[in-house]
Structure 1
Amino acid sequence: MTDLEDMSCYISDRISSLQRMLDLSVIEFPQNQIKKLKVEIFALEKLLEEFEKYVDQQKEQLKHLKELEKLFQRNVEDAQHIKENIPTHMPKKKGLVSGKESVMNQKEAADVQPAQPSQPENIKKTSKKFVREMEFITMTEFESIPQYMKGRVTYDQLNAAVNNINTAMTAKYKIFNQSTKTLNNNARKLHQRFKDQETKQTKGQYFVVEDDIRDFTQMKVDKRFQGILNMLRHCQRLRELRGGGLTRYVLL
């Protein structure tokens, strides 16, 4: 039983006891019994007052619990909405990530537009050096892009392109940062190509070219790709550096 139920039962018993005493009122009571009856009635009045206070407290608590229930229900609905509308790509803090971590991130983002890079075999799985990644575009940044520049490209498609560029960047620099002694013939050719593409302006910078996109992703390098690059430049994710008949897309 709850405290409220216990008190209710106790008061009910006292009232029944008093009712029986009143039913016997036709009989002349001794003086001490009359005093006892007055004491019982006075005690019962006090109990009823306490009972009313307790009932009011329970009503107030019930009201508070109902408010909490509504708040909890709204939180559940909000959580469900968030669960059903999680962005495909979540923006990350700026910083450097290792090559191994980059590969893991690409696998996690592969559900939108999976890239299946055909990387050369016999390449070491880890590298002591680090490879930067391009940050995903936030919804606020996407909305700031002029409509004529976006065309029909959606938010998810733009970030899928970021994912592919990161895949190419990671694959390229995993090869570039290794000793040629550890690479097979195909990887050595790529290593030499990457080295030949370096200039004084790109020293210490991370960049890819169109051939890297073709070699390491399934993304088409076409007019639509050029439009996506314009949007990424607008969002200050990369810049173009031309020279030697080659356009380098340098990560900012």
Structure 2
Amino acid sequence: MEMMAINENLIMTHCELEDITKHLDNRISSLRRVFDLRIIAKDQDKRIILGKISQDLLTVDGLLDQFEKCVCSQRDLLKHLKELEEYFHEDVQNGRYLRDHMPTHMPRKGPTANQGPVSESGLVDVQPNKQEHPRKTPKNHVKQMEFITSPEFESIPQYMKGRVTYDQLNAAVENINTALTGKYKVCHQPVKNMNNATRKLHQRFKEEENKETKGRFFIVEADIKEFTQMKVDKRFVSILNMLRHCQRLREQRGQGLTRYVLV
């Protein structure tokens, strides 16, 4: 065992001596080249060549500096592109999420440009623009109720919403629009082209109008039953309260009838 340890020490010492010897040989070779160059530099012609080599080395050194700057610039550009790639992937994920979670009912338009701030009572302070002229609507135009937006739905008190969901509320808006379209399609028909059933409906519609509803679009519960499959029950009453809270309609009572007038 002692002999093996001695041999190992000798091997390690031999390797270290080889490294030291190699290092010394390299230093001696370098010194010899320096002396050779000093001897060459004494010759005038060769000194000119060495000067040109020196200029070439300076040129190469300058090119290396420019190359290093270019590499740094490209490295920074690559880093920036990777950041943009991350943002792009994030936008793609957000877009896919929006595509997969698209609401069933989308509002058709946002607030108008002349819409003012919301007051404490929740009413919108509308400031009319004197320079704008009101657009003329077609004679047979039927006003439609705007769908409820998510912020509007969140603003409804929980006791008023109950178990009614966002989609159910907008489904009711769609049914009300269907009833409006069916009712005023009959109103806009020439009387001479009506059959007996349509003429009776037309007569009922005329009888339900009064001074307060003149020029406005409204429906009654009978219109919901006539033109839609929606049930007129306690949930329907709750939905009407929510729509009134969101300023989509108002109630007008008279002659034993409740009219739901579009705002």
- TM (normalized to structure 2)? 0.69
1:172 Cα offset (Å): 0.5
Alignment of 1:31-180 (within 5 A): 31=46, 32-93=48-109, 128-180=139-191
Separation (CA, whole Å) in 2 of partners of 1:39 and 1:240: 95
Q: 1:149 to 1:92 in 2, by over 3 A?
A: same
1:55-88 CA-partner distances (Å, limit 9, x unpaired): 1111111111111111112211221222122222
Q: 1:94 to 1:216 in 2, by over 3 A?
A: farther
Superposed CA RMSD in Å reads 2.3
> Are 2:204 and 1:193 aligned?
yes
3-state DSSP class of the match of 2:76?
helix
Aligned length: 198
Quick one: which of 204, 212, 218 aligns to 2:223? 212
Range moving further from structure 2, 71-80 or 215-224: 71-80
> Which amino acid is the alignment partner of residue 97 of structure 2?
H
Q: 1:82 to 1:94 in 2, by over 3 A?
A: closer
1:33 Cα offset (Å): 3.4
Percent identity between matched residues is 59
CA contact (8 A) 1:168 1:217 kept: yes
1:20-72 CA-partner distances (Å, limit 9, x unpaired): xx9xx89x795243333223222211111111111111111111111111111
Separation (CA, whole Å) in 1 of partners of 2:58 and 2:237: 92
3-state DSSP class of the match of 2:215?
coil
Instruction: Name structure 2 gaps, 5 residues minimum.
Output: 1-32, 112-137
Q: Which has the higher contact order (CA 8 A, sep 6+)?
A: 1
Separation (CA, whole Å) in 1 of partners of 2:157 and 2:50: 94
1:94 Cα offset (Å): 7.5
> Which amino acid is the alignment partner of residue 227 of structure 1?
S
Structure with higher Rg: it is 2
Separation (CA, whole Å) in 1 of partners of 2:230 and 2:62: 83
> Which amino acid is the alignment partner of residue 39 of structure 1?
Q
1:159 Cα offset (Å): 0.8
> Are 2:214 and 1:203 aligned?
yes
3-state DSSP class of the match of 2:145?
coil
1:178 Cα offset (Å): 2.0
CA contact (8 A) 1:94 1:135 kept: no
